[in-house]
Structure 1
């Protein structure tokens, strides 16, 4: 006759495995549900980030650009950040010195060159007058200021 203790031990192990398997199945199901929810949220965040980028780029494009219009003070002026940086380098001036000529700060000149800002119409007129100057004339102006 088999030992009752060993039979009891085997039966307890079998029932325990059965209970653990049932618990693990519920955990697996909830894990799958949570993972799919996380994936859906990631997709949603990605779509929202794309939409945000698209909207902000659209807002930048729709921002009123200094359209060439005739004004009382003279012809229409256009602005180019690269041309501004090139002219400043040609004159061998710091941004602060160039800003002093235009009537703005050096940081404003840096922002214009990096495309983070645009000059106002009256500042465009000042930029045009500085563009008409040569190195010697600029040096004279800076000495007098």
Structure 2
């Protein structure tokens, strides 16, 4: 007949091993996830570095081409989502009507007014012209 102390000791060891096994399983799973994230970030970094190298090679030409465009555009245009909504209401137009005048989709106008996105430079110029427009001219553009 085995000694109760040795039976108790072996049972404690067995339970401890089982507990450690479950803890290490969770750690192994997390380490695996971290490793895959690190690998993904390394791949992304490599792609970005390649893009930077390509940009730096052709950077002289791109920078020279960009300067005259900045001079032609004149002063920089500001954009305010709240201002666009106010302007639209002042003209008494719907978002779809404003979109038709600006040559964009109604969803774009909605997203600009809600502040989810910002218009591009070309669209900012159209919005600036909208500011100078009156109700009659806006209706004429819609009909024309």
> Which of the five TM-score ranges fits, normalised by the shorter chain?
0.5 to 0.7
Match of 1:22 among 10, 13, 22: 13
Query: Which deviations, in whole Å up to 9, do the C-alpha atoms of 1:94-120 show, x marking residues without a partner?
Result: 211001111111112123332424224
- How far the C-alpha of 1:12 sits from its partner, in A, is 7.5
Q: How far, CA to CA, are the matches of 2:13 and 2:91 in structure 1? A: 80
Write 1 or 2 for the structure with the bigger share of helix: 2
Q: What SS is found at the alignment partner of 2:77?
A: coil
Q: What SS is found at the alignment partner of 2:70?
A: coil
Bigger-Rg structure (1/2) = 1
Contact 2:77 2:125 in 1 (8 A): no
Unaligned runs of 5+ in 1: 1-7, 52-66
Q: What SS is found at the alignment partner of 1:70?
A: helix
Q: How far, CA to CA, are the matches of 1:89 and 1:77 in structure 2? A: 24
Query: Which deviations, in whole Å up to 9, do the C-alpha atoms of 1:54-74 show, x marking residues without a partner?
Result: xxxxxxxxxxxxx99331xx6
Query: Which deviations, in whole Å up to 9, do the C-alpha atoms of 1:39-85 show, x marking residues without a partner?
Result: x75xx69xx8xx9xxxxxxxxxxxxxxx99331xx633414142222
Contact 1:112 1:119 in 2 (8 A): no
Unaligned runs of 5+ in 2: 42-66
Match of 1:92 in 2: 92
TM-score, structure 1 normalization: 0.54
Structure with bigger RCO (C-alpha 8 Å, 6+ apart): 2
- How far the C-alpha of 1:16 sits from its partner, in A, is 4.3
Q: What SS is found at the alignment partner of 2:100?
A: helix
